[in-house]
Structure 1
Amino acid sequence: MIHTEALTRTFRSGKDTVEAVRGIDLDVAEGELVAFLGPNGAGKSTTLRMLTSLLPPTSGTALVAGTDVVADPAGVRRRIGYIGQKDGAGHSYRVGDELVMQGRFYGLSKSESVERGRQLMASLDLAGMENRKVSTLSGGQKRRLDIALGLIHEPPLLFLDEPSTGMDPQNRANLWEHILRLRAERGTTIVLTTHYLEEADTMAERVVVIDHGRIIADDTAEALKAEQAGDHLWLSVPAEDADAAVQVLARAGEQLERTPAAGTVGLRYRVAHGTGTLPRLVLALHDRGVTVAEASVRRPTLDDVFLNLTGRSLREGGPALTTTTEGQPA
């Protein structure tokens, strides 16, 4: 569904050249749900804008839904749906009119547009709102309307650029329920950018991590967490037994921290399969005469993966890594 080779984009900033995207090689298969992750300024938005034909690449090639983004950008737009970060419907228009107008833009007849709009509104819990002005909808309803607008022409590929940013947890959950149900019904390929790491972790089949304009990791969330971060075990043992505990724990993983505290020592280790390893370690420590006062397992997050890869946090609110130029996000 998507194939790129050495895709780049540079911007001019005065006399300087800013490399926003530096040679992206990417393949997305039909039916996949792929999440792009990266801090502000990593190149996510620029990559998405090139794949949706909104921004021409400086060099390299990109085929989207079988169409070249440079040779036939209009053909790309006919074959994709795009849900941006801001509301797409006109606030002073009626919901039903916006859907019909969108369908007509894509070459559907009026009757086809009305029927497709009716089906989508039913699927997205918007039924009965045809005559309401967009401005009267709640934030969650407006985002679901955006999804309907992006799907009116039944595209095989849907781009979601931070679709749930600013929504409360309940509306985020409801939106994802609708997206996943529509995907299951229609087999739509979805490319997602998000600042919510939990969304990428639980929803996406693949996670593509972008930093400084390059792909630095591409795998399932579970594989990335196991390879790059690992589970963390924390155990508290009596101070006099700490050395004996270290000897046992050294065979299980890598020591990350040793913290003395009021007659005890806290030991933190990186291990594989923490929930299965912890009971065996507690038994092994017991056999050595070491009493474990407390123990816990912390599963890694995608932020841990990025921290391990780059030494920086992926969390929203971190500093931008590059500046924007000529009005375009890097």
Structure 2
Amino acid sequence: MLTINQLQVSYGNQIALNIQKSLHFKKGDRIGIIGANGAGKSTLLKACLGLIPYSGSIDTKIKTSDMAIHMQENSYTENMAIKHVLEAILGTKIKTNTKLQKLIEYFEFSPSLNKKFKALSGGQKQRLTLIMVLMQEAPITFFDEVTTGLDFETRSHLMEKILNWYQNQDSTICLVTHYYTELNQLANKILILEAGEVIDFDTKEALFHRYCGYCVILVEKTAKAQKFLSNFQQISGPPDKLTIQCNTMEEEKEILLILLSHKLNYSRTDNDIEIMSLNAIEHFKKEHTNHEKISA
């Protein structure tokens, strides 16, 4: 559907994005794009949409005009009712467009139609833009920090709505977010960016096993826990936890026997995206450091 090759974006003398690997976004993919501020996430989206100049190639049969994007912030005129804003931008009438009526009902947006934009809550503003984005039925849609600034309940409700809407569709979704729970809900693949470079891109499961092993055991970081678990491999994780990597089921059983015999509370995960990304970035930085030492 879309292939990125040797993509580079510069702002003046600063390279904002430098993708040397080929990235393939396939039909039906649900791709989560993560990275720290300045990692190049929004820059990548803008390049795919042809909004900024770049070198390299983005190969796709889809016209950029047929792609859709939901930006982090959107502003509309504040002098007319939202129903008229919707109709003006979409070029249709609500009362005659059953698809638009369905989306308004789906997002529970009817009570907001007579309000002006400035009177909408953050969640209502995002629903407004989501309605317009989903009306396009684009083969590929980019969501850029859709739920930033919203409370947990509103975020969860919106992500559930997006997930359910696309459940039986084969369109491709690219979601930029710093909320890992949203990635767990929606994404089947993860693209990790750091300082404009690709750390890795693969399925969630493959990335977790690559950087975290078979599973991870999390134990409160106490002197007692450190005493009994010092012989096992620790990886990056929450600062208040011992994050123990298990490479096999047998190793996991060995650790659990120790924890149970010494009455140490623990949790287990084999799909934590945050822990996976922390260790992927750490691995990337170590490789770069070793490469620089060898080059020197």
SS at match of 1:190: strand
Residue aligning to 1:164: 147
Shift in Å at residue 305 of structure 1?
Answer: 2.7
Structure with greater helix percent? 2
Kindly indicate whether residue 246 of structure 2 is the aligned counterpart of residue 271 of structure 1. Answer: yes
- AA in 1 matched with 2:80: Y
The CA deviation string for residues 88-115 of structure 1, in whole angstroms up to 9 with x for no partner, is 43333322222222222xxxx5579844
Q: Secondary structure at the match of 1:254?
A: coil
Which amino acid is the alignment partner of residue 306 of structure 1? Answer: S
Deviations 1:160-206 (A, max 9, x none): 00000000011001101111121125433211100112212332000
Cα distance, 1:292–1:214 mapped onto 2, change above 3 Å? same
**Helix, strand or coil for the counterpart of 1:270?**
strand
User: Cα gap change, 1:267/1:189 in structure 2, threshold over 3 Å: closer, same or farther?
Assistant: closer
Q: Which amino acid aligns with 2:282?
A: G
Match of residue 93 from structure 1: 80
Distance 2:150 2:53 in 1: 31
Within 1, Cα distance between the matches of 2:114 and 2:220?
61
Tell me, in whole angstroms, the C-alpha distance in 2 between the residues paired with 1:88 and 1:96: 15
Helix, strand or coil at the partner of 1:101: helix
Relative distance call for 1:269 and 1:130 in structure 2 (3 A) is closer
Quote the Cα distance in structure 2 between the aligned partners of 1:195 and 1:133: 30
TM-score between the two structures when normalised by the length of structure 1: 0.71
2:5 paired with 1:8: no
- Conservation of the 8 A alpha-carbon contact between 2:94 and 2:101: no
Q: Residue 318 of structure 1 aligns with which residue? A: none
Give percent identity, aligned residues only: 25
Which of the numbers 25, 28, 33 marks the counterpart of 1:31?
28
- List per-residue Cα deviations over 1:271-310 (Å, max 9, x = no partner): 1367x85555455x69xxx952424235374333333233
User: Separation in 1 of the partners of 2:264 and 2:15?
Assistant: 49
> Which residue, 209, 233, 238 being the options, matches 1:254?
233
1:303/1:238 Cα in 2 relative to 1: closer, same or farther (>3 Å)? closer
Q: Distance in 1 between matches of 2:120 and 2:253?
A: 52
Q: Is 1:200 equivalent to 2:175 in the alignment?
A: no
Matched, 1:80 2:38: no
Structure 2 residue identity aligned to 1:296:
Y
Q: Distance in 2 between matches of 1:102 and 1:147?
A: 13
Q: 2:89, 2:16 → 1: CA distance? A: 32
1:224 aligned residue (202, 207, 212)? 207
The higher radius of gyration belongs to: 1
Tell me the distance in 2 between the aligned counterparts of 1:142 and 1:308.
36
Partner residue, 2:37: 40
Q: Secondary structure in 2 aligned to 1:34?
A: strand
Q: How does 1:39-118 map to 2 (within 5 A)?
A: 39-57=36-54, 59-64=55-60, 66-67=61-62, 75-77=63-65, 79-104=66-91, 114-118=97-101
CA distance in 1, matches of 2:68, 2:235: 46
Q: 1:303 — aligned with what?
A: 274
Letter paired with 1:201: N
Given that residues 236 and 292 in structure 1 are in contact (C-alpha distance below 8 angstroms), is that contact kept between their aligned partners in structure 2?
no
Within 2, Cα distance between the matches of 1:115 and 1:268?
52
CA RMSD of aligned residues (A): 3.3
Runs of 5+ consecutive residues of structure 2 not aligned to the other structure: 284-296
2:192 to 209, 212, 221: 209
Letter of the 2:274 partner, please give it.
D
Contact 2:69 2:141 in 1 (8 A): yes
State the TM-score, normalized to the length of structure 2: 0.79
What secondary structure is seen at the aligned counterpart in 2 of 1:166?
coil
Q: How many residues align?
A: 273
Contact 1:237–1:294 (Cα < 8 Å) also in 2? no
Return the alpha-carbon distance in structure 1 between the equivalents of residues 100 and 148 of structure 2.
Answer: 25
Residue 255 to residue 198, structure 1, CA distance change in 2 (3 Å): closer
What CA distance in whole angstroms lies between the structure 2 residues aligned with 1:92 and 1:209?
A: 41
